[in-house]
Amino acid sequence: MEIYDVVLIPLIIGIVELLKMYGMPRRLLPVMALIFGVVGGIIYIYPHDIKAGVLVGLMMGLSASGLYAGGRTVIDK
């Protein structure tokens, strides 16, 4: 993973903000950030290594949504 790959984190944040703007329920936004992170990790960063792509994608998704804020949103129905 190179320093340029970290650019995906603000991109994930932007996509999730668009989803929020278009009416997606707030409790689903952290899940969407994780999904976008994993997809970006597998397709863009590590297309040849699925395990590494999932791991890096999870880190990017959690970074984008914020671990505490994301967990709190899911718990607060």
Question: pLDDT of 12-50, one tens digit each?
Answer: 988 998 998 999 998 899 899 999 999 999 999 999 999
Alpha-carbon torsion, ordered 13, 63, 66, 35, to 10 deg:
60
Query: Count of residues for the chain?
Result: 77
**Cβ-contact 64, 38 below 8 angstroms:** no
**Is it the case that residue 77 has pLDDT exceeding 70?**
no
Interhelix angle 8-21/50-65, nearest 10 degrees: 60
